[in-house]
């Protein structure tokens, strides 16, 4: 009987410790960053988003990389209330100060059925910063960023195009 009790106690302790885990996200809030756009005169505006980083008021010197759904996004697919989840992550309850987009090299615009490459000065290295200054609650927080395709694409005059992003917090 003593052995049966010892064995049951051992299994109970093993099960208890196997089920308990450290929660690295305790005391943190969920942040979702979504992308939307307004109507534009282009057939496609494709932006190669590689990484999303955030900075809070308590982490002034450090950027935190979110779990990013990297890929090429046609901004015109996200009009009239349609959006897409770009990134998600956990952070302390704080004020979100800035969001940074790190872009890849495959940024294009389609005009009159012709696809043109878009130059994106410094967007691949340092990224595009968006000032936010939004306090985060204790539950799930969603930040919707309006990437304005119409205002973000500039024709340089020699048949080339440049991406100078205009991104607003909604």
Q: How sure is the predictor about 11, in pLDDT bands with cuts at 50, 70 and 90?
A: very low
Within 8 A by CB and 6+ apart from 114, the residues are none
Mean pLDDT of 132-158: 86
Strand order across the beta sheet in which 141-147 lies: 67-68, 84-92, 28-36, 141-147, 167-169
Q: How many domains does the chain have?
A: 1
pTM of this prediction exceeds 0.75: yes
Q: Tokens 């590689």 sit at which residue?
A: 50
pLDDT at 170: 84
Mean pLDDT of 113-120: 93
Distance, in Å, from the CA atom of 69 to the CA atom of 16, rounded to the nearest integer, reads: 36
Mean of the per-residue pLDDT values for the chain?
A: 81
Instruction: Report, in angstroms and rounded to the nearest whole number, the Rg of the chain calculated over CA atoms.
Output: 23
Mean pLDDT of 76-103: 90
Domain that holds residue 45: 26-169
């Amino acid at each position: 009987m003593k052995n049966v009790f010892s064995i049951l106690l051992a299994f109970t302790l093993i099960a208890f410790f196997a089920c308990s885990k450290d929660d690295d996200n305790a005391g943190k809030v969920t942040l979702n960053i979504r992308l939307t756009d307004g109507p534009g005169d282009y057939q496609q505006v494709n932006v190669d988003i590689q990484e999303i980083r955030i900075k809070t008021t308590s982490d002034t010197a450090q950027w935190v990389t979110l779990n990013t759904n990297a890929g090429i996004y046609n901004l015109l697919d996200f009009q009239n209330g349609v959006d897409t989840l770009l990134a998600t992550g956990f952070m302390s309850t704080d004020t979100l100060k800035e969001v940074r987009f790190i872009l890849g090299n495959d940024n294009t615009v389609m005009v009159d059925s012709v696809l043109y490459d878009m130059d994106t000065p410094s967007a691949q290295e340092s990224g595009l910063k968006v000032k936010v200054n939004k306090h985060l609650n204790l539950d799930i927080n969603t930040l919707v960023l309006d990437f304005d395709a119409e205002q973000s694409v500039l024709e340089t005059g020699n048949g080339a195009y440049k991406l100078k992003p205009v991104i607003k917090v909604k």
